[in-house]
Amino acid sequence: MAVGDGGGGGVRRRGCGCSKEDFFPEESFSSWEAYGRALRSTGARLADRLTARSLDATELHEVRARSGADMKRDLTWWDLAWFGVGAVIGAGIFVLTGQEARNAVGPAVVISYVVSGVSAMLSVFCYTEFAVEIPVAGQRWNQPSVAFFTVKLIGLVRDPLTLILESCSPDTDCGSFAYLRVELGDFMAFVAAGNILLEYCIGGAAVARAWTSYFATLLNHHPNDFRIHAASLAADYSRLDPIAVAVIAIICLLSVLSTKASSRFNYVLSVLHVAVIAFIIVAGLTKADAANLTRHFMPYGPRGVFAASAVLFFAYIGFDAVSTMAEETRDPARDIPVGLVGAMALTTALYCALAVTLCLMVPYGEIDPDAPFSVAFADRGMGWAKYVVAFGALKGMTTVLLVSAVGQARYLTHIARTHMMPPWLARVHPGTGTPVNATVAMLLATAVIAFFTDLNVLSNLLSISTLFIFMLVAVALLVRRYYVSGETSRADRNRLAACIAAILASSVATATCWGLDRGGWVPYAVTVPAWLAATASLWALVPQARAPKLWGVPMVPWLPSASIAINVFLLGSIDSKSFMRFGIWTAALLVYYLFVGLHASYDTAKALAADAVAGKVEDGDAKTSAPPML
C-alpha cells in the first residue's frame, strides 16, 4: 500500500523521524509534478470526499486492528457518571461564574446554568445513541469477576479520575469525529475535527490562565501580578502568562511519560475535589444574605441570561469524552444513557448550587471576576477559607488539564491515522506507549494561546466551536435515523434534506434576530412556527430508515431538532468579534484541506480500497454509491 506506513496498523513505529515521508507519504506529494496533478484534480477529488462516508464496521474494525492490546476493565453507569463529572467540573465553574455574574447576568446566573445545562443534556442524548450504536473505543467487552468489579468500584470512589486517565489509550477512537465521518462524510468530519482540536487547545489555554488566577489568590496576590504587561499588544492579548505556560509544560511531561504517572499524580488529590465543592456550598451558605440574591435578580434582563448561557456552556465541555468509553461498559444500552444523563444532571445541580451560594454571599457587582469564590470568603471574614477554595480549584483545574492533554492527543492521533493530518502525528512511542508527537504538538499550540490570550476571548471562542460541533452531531443523528444508502428512496431523501435545511434555516433566523436585537415579537412569530413546521414535516412525511439496535434517542425528530435550535440560538448570543475569529479559523481549515488534507485522505482512501479489492485488508475506507444528500 502506497500510504501504508502511516495508516492502519503502521502507526506504532520506532524512532522519531522527521523526513518528508513521515509527514507526506501519499502519492500526491511524491514530487512537485504529482502535487500539480493533484491540485488540478481538486474539484473531482472534493466531490469524491463530499460523498464519501465511512461505514459503521469500518470505524469499529479498523480501530480494533490498530489497538495494541485490549483493556481489561468493565465499566458501569456509576463509573461513567463519575467519569463525566470529573471530566467536566473545572475552570468553568470556578472562574466564569464570577465573570458572568458580575458583567453579564447578575444573580440570574443560576438560570444561565440551567439553560446551558438543558442544551448540554440534549446534546448528551444525541451523543448517547452514537456511543451505543457505534462503540468506537475498539476494545472487547469483558465479564469481570465480582472481586475485580468491587476493587474497581472502591478505586473509583477514592480516585474517579484515575479511571479516566488510564482509559484514555492512544489506540482508542474519538467520538464525534467518527460519528460525523459515518453520517456526514469525510469533509464535514474534517471541519468538525478542526474545531475539536481548536476546542481542546482553547479549553486547555483557558484552564491554564484560570490556574494562574487561583494560584495568585493562594499567595495573596492579584493574578496580573504574575503576568507580564506588554503594552504594545492589543488589550485582549497584552497580559502574558508565563505560569500558564509552565503548568502546560508540566502537564505535557506527565502525559508523554506515562498515563499511569498522570493517574498516580492525580490520585493524591482526587477526593479533595468533591470535598471542596461541598465545603464551598455548606460554608458559603452560613454567610448567605438573601437580599444579595433577590434585590436585583436579573439586572441585565433575558438578553443577559442567554448571553451568559452561551459563555457558560464552556463549563459543561468534557462530557463527550464519556461517549468514547461505550465498548468498555458491561451494558451499553443501559449504562451509557444512565451514566451520561446522570453525570449531566449532577453537574448541573452542583453548578446551580455553587452559583446560588456565590450570589448569596456577595452582591453581584462586588464579585471578583478572577477568583470569585476565594475572594468571596475573604470578604465575608473567612480569610482562611480562601486557601481551601483556591487549593481545591487548582486541583480541579489540574485534573481537567491532565484529562484534556490525554484526550486531545487521542483525537489528533486518530485524525492523523486518516491522513487528514500528517501521519507523523499518529506515532505512538514504543517506550512510553503514548502518542508523544500528538501530545507535544497540541500542548505547544495550547501554551502559545495561553501565553497571550485573555480568558474572556477564550471562553467565547470555545463556546462557538463546541456549540457548532454539537449542532453537527444532532444533524448527523437525524441523517442516521432517516437515511440509509441503497434503501432510502430518492423522494424521501429529498424530503429529509429539505426538512433539515428548513430546521437549520429557521434556527439561524431566530438566532440572527436575537443577536441583532430586533425589537418586538413579530420575527419570532415567523421563525419559531417555521421551525415547528419543519420538524413536524420531518416527523410526518419522512419514514425512519433505521431503528436503533440497542438504545435510541426518544422523541425523534423533536429532541435532536430542539438540540439544533438551542445550540444555534446560543450561538446568536455570542459577540461578533468571536465569530470573526471563528471565521478566520474555519477559513484556515478550508485552505489546509483543499491544498493538503483533501489529497492526502483521497490517496489513503483509494489505496485502502485497492488493498481491499486485492484481498490484502478486510475493511477499507468505504464510499457509498449514493449522490450527496446535503
Predicted TM-score of the model (pTM) = 0.76
Could you list the residue range(s) of the whole structural domain that residue 64 is in?
48-137+145-595
Q: Which residues of 585-601 are buried (b: 16+ CB within 10 A; e: fewer)?
A: bbeebbeebeebbbbbb
Q: 229 forms bridges with which residues in the sheet?
A: 239
Count CB atoms within 10 A of the CB of residue 612: 15
Q: What pLDDT score does 96 carry?
A: 82
Of the pLDDT bands very low, low, confident and very high (cuts 50, 70, 90), residue 565 is very high
Highest mean pLDDT of the ranges 139-143, 165-169, 412-416, 554-558: 554-558
Distance of CA 47 to the CA centre of its chain: 28
Residue pair 601/418 in contact (Cβ under 8 Å)? The answer is yes
Residues 545, 399: Cα–Cα separation, whole Å: 42
Q: Which three cell numbers stand for residue 247?
A: 503548568
Q: Which three cell numbers stand for residue 200?
A: 481542546
Mean pLDDT of the 396-402 span: 78
User: Which H/E stretch holds residue 430?
Assistant: none
Residue 624 included in any domain: no
Residue pair 601/423 in contact (Cβ under 8 Å)? The answer is no
Q: What pLDDT score does 323 carry?
A: 62
Q: Poorest-confidence range of 250-259, 294-303, 516-525?
A: 250-259
Q: What pLDDT score does 451 carry?
A: 92
Residue 33 included in any domain: no
For 198, phi and psi rounded to 5 degrees?
-60, -40
For 487, phi and psi rounded to 5 degrees?
-115, -40
116: closest CA among 453, 518, 574, 582? 574
Q: Poorest-confidence range of 38-42, 157-161, 446-450, 523-527?
A: 157-161
Residue 432 predicted with pLDDT over 80: no
Mean pLDDT of the 559-580 span: 89
Q: What pLDDT score does 541 carry?
A: 94
Residue pair 380/287 in contact (Cβ under 8 Å)? The answer is yes
Of the pLDDT bands very low, low, confident and very high (cuts 50, 70, 90), residue 353 is very high
Residue pair 444/409 in contact (Cβ under 8 Å)? The answer is no
Q: What pLDDT score does 184 carry?
A: 72
Residue 567 predicted with pLDDT over 70: yes
Residues 499, 496: Cα–Cα separation, whole Å: 5
Residue 105 predicted with pLDDT over 50: yes
Residue 625 included in any domain: no
Q: What percentage of the chain exceeds 90 in pLDDT?
A: 19
Q: What is the DSSP letter of 95?
A: I
Residue pair 395/265 in contact (Cβ under 8 Å)? The answer is no
Residue pair 130/478 in contact (Cβ under 8 Å)? The answer is no
Of the pLDDT bands very low, low, confident and very high (cuts 50, 70, 90), residue 108 is very high
Q: What pLDDT score does 609 carry?
A: 73
Q: Poorest-confidence range of 43-47, 158-162, 620-624?
A: 158-162
85: closest CA among 293, 348, 269? 348
Q: Poorest-confidence range of 196-210, 334-348, 604-618?
A: 604-618
pLDDT digits (tens, 9 = 90+) for 6-27: 444 433 444 455 676 778 888 8
Residues 53, 76: Cα–Cα separation, whole Å: 32
Residues 429, 432: Cα–Cα separation, whole Å: 6
Residue pair 604/621 in contact (Cβ under 8 Å)? The answer is yes
Regarding predicted confidence, which is higher, 173 or 376?
376
Q: What percentage of the chain exceeds 70 in pLDDT?
A: 76
Q: What pLDDT score does 66 carry?
A: 44
Length of the chain: 630
The one-letter code for the residue type at 297 is F
55: closest CA among 159, 186, 160? 186
Mean pLDDT of the 461-484 span: 87
Residue 37 included in any domain: no
Residues 431, 16: Cα–Cα separation, whole Å: 12
Residue with cell 448527523: 476
Count CB atoms within 10 A of the CB of residue 146: 7
Q: Please give the biggest Cα pair distance in the chain.
A: 76
Q: Poorest-confidence range of 126-130, 266-270, 434-438?
A: 266-270
Residues 370, 233: Cα–Cα separation, whole Å: 21
Q: What pLDDT score does 144 carry?
A: 32
Of the pLDDT bands very low, low, confident and very high (cuts 50, 70, 90), residue 150 is very low
Regarding predicted confidence, which is higher, 619 or 110?
110
Residue 136 predicted with pLDDT over 60: no
Q: What pLDDT score does 260 carry?
A: 46
Of the pLDDT bands very low, low, confident and very high (cuts 50, 70, 90), residue 358 is very high
Distance of CA 471 to the CA centre of its chain: 12
User: Which H/E stretch holds residue 228?
Assistant: strand 228-229
Regarding predicted confidence, which is higher, 608 or 159?
608
Q: 75 forms bridges with which residues in the sheet?
A: 329
- Cα four-point dihedral sign 351, 355, 361, 367: positive
Residue pair 225/491 in contact (Cβ under 8 Å)? The answer is no
Q: What pLDDT score does 59 carry?
A: 53
Regarding predicted confidence, which is higher, 369 or 596?
596
Q: Which three cell numbers stand for residue 579?
A: 465569530
The alpha carbon torsion through 605, 608, 614, 619 (nearest 10 deg) reads -110
- Cβ-count burial of 347 within 10 angstroms (0-12 exposed, 13-18 middle, 19+ buried)? buried
Q: What is the DSSP letter of 329?
A: B
Instruction: Give, in order, the Cα–Cα distances in Å from 148 to each of 137, 152, 219, 329.
Output: 21, 6, 43, 14
Q: Which three cell numbers stand for residue 56?
A: 459503521
The one-letter code for the residue type at 40 is R
pLDDT digits (tens, 9 = 90+) for 487-533: 889 999 999 999 999 999 999 999 988 888 766 788 889 999 999 99
Mean pLDDT of the 33-38 span: 91
Looking up residue 499, the CATH number of its domain turns out to be 1.20.1740.10
At residue 367, the 3 state secondary structure works out as coil
Of the pLDDT bands very low, low, confident and very high (cuts 50, 70, 90), residue 562 is very high
Residue 131 predicted with pLDDT over 80: no
Of the pLDDT bands very low, low, confident and very high (cuts 50, 70, 90), residue 612 is low
Q: Kindly give the residue spans of alpha helices, DSSP state H, lying in 434-573.
A: 436-452, 455-482, 490-515, 522-541, 558-571
Regarding predicted confidence, which is higher, 88 or 521?
521
Mean pLDDT of the 427-443 span: 79
Q: What pLDDT score does 138 carry?
A: 34
Q: What pLDDT score does 233 carry?
A: 86
How is 236-259 classified by DSSP, letter by letter?
A: GG-EE-HHHHHHHHHHHHHHHH-H
Residue 537 predicted with pLDDT over 80: yes
Residue 13 included in any domain: no
pLDDT digits (tens, 9 = 90+) for 159-218: 433 433 344 443 344 556 666 776 777 788 888 888 888 888 888 888 888 888 888 888
112: closest CA among 322, 297, 365, 281? 297
Number of domains in the chain: 1
Residue 549 included in any domain: yes
Q: 239 forms bridges with which residues in the sheet?
A: 229
Q: What pLDDT score does 481 carry?
A: 92
Distance of CA 341 to the CA centre of its chain: 16
How is 290-319 classified by DSSP, letter by letter?
A: HHHHHTTS-TTHHHHHHHHHHHHGGGGTTG
Residue with cell 456577595: 362
Q: Compute the half-sphere exposure of residue 583: CA atoms within 13 Å on the CB side of its CA.
A: 6
Residue 123 included in any domain: yes
Average pLDDT, the chain: 77
The one-letter code for the residue type at 325 is M
Residue 623 predicted with pLDDT over 80: no
Residue pair 61/319 in contact (Cβ under 8 Å)? The answer is no
Residue 4 included in any domain: no
Mean pLDDT of the 138-166 span: 34
